[in-house]
């Protein structure tokens, strides 16, 4: 068994040895399955209006109750969760691709290119995340596409910073210097030596960013600048429930619970991945278990 295989097996043991991480992973798998199959497993149409059944509480017919128009809340929460995950995954994927490219090139090349890139990143960091997202959506107009773009833009600097910091430490390693000395191309060095060795922090940051992206989408939709009706959105559903909190608590509780559970699962998974992929955390955990 090679050293790489031993490391992989040890990593899986650490990950699976943490019950919180296992539970959060199982929850994320369930959420992913629900998101992929929401259109088929939803018992009612998300926009099927049935006024006589309006504001009915949770029951066998409507598990999460109905809203002010008699629409089934369970169906709407399923489809809204699907939309939130789609926005989060695509926007974070955009941020990863753009941010990592900027960060790796900046950290590897250094000089004036690094200065320019990092000053632009610093300017973007000067704005609160939600405020910058609001500005982008206000300029481009509300909708799913602009929501994805806005969230992707505001999270790009985070990945640029993380990847640059990791690249600065990896580029001075002996194997990178040897590759340069024998005339290896820069693209090969980046793809073979730099990117694989900075993947750990990026995986952790991706998990955490997915959680915050879901919160950002819900906030934008709550303000009316995210996903637009008639497509259901968790944030918009909470906004619509404001006038019915005292008489129909389920209209706010179930969409809010969907956001809470999803965000918590991503955060806990990020903590578990950090324990495995961060050498310092990993050494501490292994030493604690050996005592």
- The reported pLDDT for the residue numbered 14 is 66
pLDDT above 70 (res 63): yes
pLDDT above 60 (res 23): yes
Q: Retrieve residue 240's tokens.
A: 């619509």
For 182, phi and psi rounded to 5 degrees? -95, 10
Rounded CA separation 95/52 (Å): 46
- The reported pLDDT for the residue numbered 18 is 73
Peptide bond into 67 cis (omega under 30): no
- The reported pLDDT for the residue numbered 15 is 66
**Which residue has better confidence, 179 or 161?**
161
User: What ranges do the domains of the chain cover?
Assistant: 15-290
pLDDT band at 193 (very low <50, low <70, confident <90, very high): confident
Question: Which are the contacts of 20, defined by CB distance < 8 A and separation ≥ 6?
Answer: 268, 271, 272
Q: Exposure of 54 by Cβ count < 10 A (0-12 exposed, 13-18 middle, 19+ buried)?
A: middle
Rounded CA separation 202/176 (Å): 20
Q: Retrieve residue 218's tokens.
A: 């819900």
73-77, 78-82, 183-187, 253-257: least confidently modelled range: 183-187
Q: Please give the helix or strand (H or E) that residue 129 lies within, else none.
A: helix 129-140
What is the rounded radius of gyration, in angstroms, for the C-alpha atoms of the chain? Answer: 22
Q: Domain spanning 15-290: which CATH class is it, in words? A: mainly alpha
Percentage of residues of the chain with pLDDT beyond 90? 42
Q: Scanning the structure block, which residue is given the tokens 């043991």?
A: 13
13-17, 137-141, 156-160, 257-261: least confidently modelled range: 13-17
What integer is the mean pLDDT of 74-99?
94
pLDDT above 70 (res 291): no
Terminal CA-CA length for the chain: 26
- The reported pLDDT for the residue numbered 214 is 94
In this structure, the number of other CB atoms found within 10 A of the CB of residue 211 comes to 21
120-129, 184-193, 218-227: least confidently modelled range: 184-193
pLDDT above 50 (res 77): yes
How does 124-133 read in b/e, with b if 16+ C-beta sit within 10 Å?
Answer: bbeeebbebb
Q: What is the mean pLDDT of the chain?
A: 85
- The reported pLDDT for the residue numbered 9 is 53
How does 157-177 read in b/e, with b if 16+ C-beta sit within 10 Å?
Answer: bbbbbbbbebbbebbeeeebe
pLDDT band at 11 (very low <50, low <70, confident <90, very high): low
Please state whether 136 falls in left (phi above 0), alpha (psi between -120 and 50) or beta. alpha
């Amino acid at each position: 068994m090679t050293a790489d295989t031993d490391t992989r097996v040890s990593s899986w043991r650490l990950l699976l040895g943490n019950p919180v991480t296992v539970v959060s992973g199982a929850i994320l798998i369930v959420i992913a399955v629900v998101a992929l199959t929401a259109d088929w497993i939803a018992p009612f149409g998300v926009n099927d209006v049935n006024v006589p059944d309006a504001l009915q509480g949770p029951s066998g017919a409507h598990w999460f109750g109905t809203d002010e128009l008699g629409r089934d809340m369970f169906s709407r929460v399923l489809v809204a969760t699907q939309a939130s995950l789609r926005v989060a995954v695509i926007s974070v994927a955009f941020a990863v691709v753009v941010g990592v490219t900027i960060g790796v090139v900046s950290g590897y090349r250094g000089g004036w290119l690094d200065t320019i890139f990092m000053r632009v990143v610093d300017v973007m960091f000067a704005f609160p995340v939600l405020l910058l997202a609001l500005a982008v959506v206000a300029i481009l107009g509300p909708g799913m596409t602009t929501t994805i773009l806005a969230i992707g833009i505001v999270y790009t600097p985070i990945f640029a910073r993380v990847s640059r910091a990791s690249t600065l430490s990896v580029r001075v390693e002996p194997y990178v210097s040897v590759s340069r000395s024998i005339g290896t191309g820069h693209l090969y060095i980046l793809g073979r030596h730099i990117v694989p060795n900075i993947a750990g922090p990026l995986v952790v940051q991706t998990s955490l960013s997915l959680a915050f992206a879901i919160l950002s989408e819900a906030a934008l939709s709550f303000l009316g600048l995210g996903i637009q009706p008639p497509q259901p959105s968790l944030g918009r559903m909470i906004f619509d429930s404001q006038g019915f909190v005292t008489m129909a608590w389920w209209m706010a509780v179930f969409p809010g619970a969907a956001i809470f559970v999803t965000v918590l699962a991503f955060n806990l998974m990020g903590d578990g991945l950090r324990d495995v992929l961060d050498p310092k955390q990993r050494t501490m955990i292994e030493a604690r278990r050996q005592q």
